């Protein structure tokens, strides 16, 4: 779970960056700024059970931990290509496929937690916060249209937060493993080595071939459709995740 200390403003939280994305730090804890913002936004939504919010924050926490793990992995393998050690290269590709598969599972967990929040918000109906912070149902002698408007606003708020979490939390994990595939050699040779890692060479299978087995998960058509739906709630100048996956990481998609 995203630590509670990140969910409230505090002078103890220090904003830092790793050259690619910003994160907040408190002593030895770090959390991506986008995930902090998404978590705060979801916690602020009224009329949603705490248990559903906690499950959502758990999903954010998994993605956050995986991001820093992925960056450490990327740094560790930077510039390495085991051209004379097939077994080492095979293990590297298997590790990348396994980690990417875990990332796809984390995306699905986040989307499931998002759906649970939407369902809870719809069930609650029109709510208002009482003085002690508990939610109570407003007398429904008003118009049903008002209830639908409130529910729709909640859904829009939740979709914006989940889109933020995907753009600034989940996608950076994919990006880190994508960079890890680049051996960092001369441009022409580096591209060839990268393609070998992705699509295999001789007796050593590539990441794509490994992902195409029942052992691992790829981004399926349903996942991509959900991402397109969430992309509608991104700021006008923000990158669209579904487009980036199709444009830069098509090999991660299950066609």
pLDDT averaged over the chain?
Answer: 88
pLDDT (0 to 100) of residue 166 = 98
What single DSSP character describes residue 13?
A: -
**Could you tell me the two tokens for 172?**
């950076």
Domain of 189 in residue numbering reads as 4-252
Statement: residue 165 has pLDDT above 90: yes
Q: Are 105 and 219 in contact (CB under 8 A)?
A: no
pLDDT (0 to 100) of residue 128 = 39
Which of the residue ranges 69-83, 175-189, 195-209 would you say has the lowest mean pLDDT? 175-189
In terms of pLDDT, which residue wins out, 243 or 188? 243
DSSP H stretches of helix in the chain = 33-43, 50-77, 86-124, 144-165, 171-180, 187-199, 207-211, 221-231, 241-248
pTM to 2 decimal places: 0.88
Distance CA 139, CA 145 (A): 14
Residues in CB range of 196: below 8 A, 6 or more apart: 204, 206
CA dihedral 67, 68, 73, 76 (to 10 degrees): 150
pLDDT (0 to 100) of residue 130 = 35
Q: Are 41 and 164 in contact (CB under 8 A)?
A: yes
pLDDT (0 to 100) of residue 149 = 67
Stretch 247-254: mean pLDDT = 96
What is the C-alpha R_g of the chain? 21
Going from the C-alpha of 103 to that of each of 92, 145, 173, 174, 195, the distances in angstroms are: 17, 40, 7, 7, 21
Which of the residue ranges 38-42, 98-102, 119-123 would you say has the lowest mean pLDDT? 119-123
**Could you tell me the two tokens for 231?**
């992309």
Tally of domains within the chain = 1
């Amino acid at each position: 779970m995203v630590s509670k200390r990140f969910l409230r403003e505090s002078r103890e939280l220090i904003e830092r960056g790793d050259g690619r994305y910003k994160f907040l730090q408190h002593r030895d804890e770090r959390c991506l700024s986008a995930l902090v913002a998404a978590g705060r936004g979801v916690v602020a939504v009224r009329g949603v059970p705490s248990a559903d919010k906690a499950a959502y924050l758990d999903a954010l926490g998994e993605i956050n931990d995986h991001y820093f793990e992925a960056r450490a992995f990327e740094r560790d393998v930077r510039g390495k290509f085991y051209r004379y050690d097939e077994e080492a290269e095979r293990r590297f590709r298997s590790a990348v496929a396994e980690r990417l598969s875990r990332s796809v599972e984390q995306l699905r967990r986040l989307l499931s937690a998002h759906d649970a929040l939407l369902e809870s918000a719809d069930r609650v109906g029109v709510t208002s916060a009482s003085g002690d912070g508990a939610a109570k149902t407003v007398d429904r002698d008003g118009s049903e249209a008002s209830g639908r408007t409130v529910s729709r606003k909640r859904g829009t708020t939740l979709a914006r937060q989940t889109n933020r979490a995907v753009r600034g939390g989940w996608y950076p994990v994919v990006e880190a493993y994508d960079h890890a595939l680049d051996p960092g050699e001369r441009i022409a040779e580096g591209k060839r080595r990268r393609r070998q890692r992705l699509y295999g060479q001789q007796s050593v299978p590539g990441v794509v071939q490994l992902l195409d087995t029942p052992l691992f998960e790829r981004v399926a058509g349903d996942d991509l459709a959900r991402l397109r739906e969430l992309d509608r709630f991104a700021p006008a100048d923000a990158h669209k995740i579904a487009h980036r996956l199709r444009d830069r990481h098509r090999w991660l998609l299950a066609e």
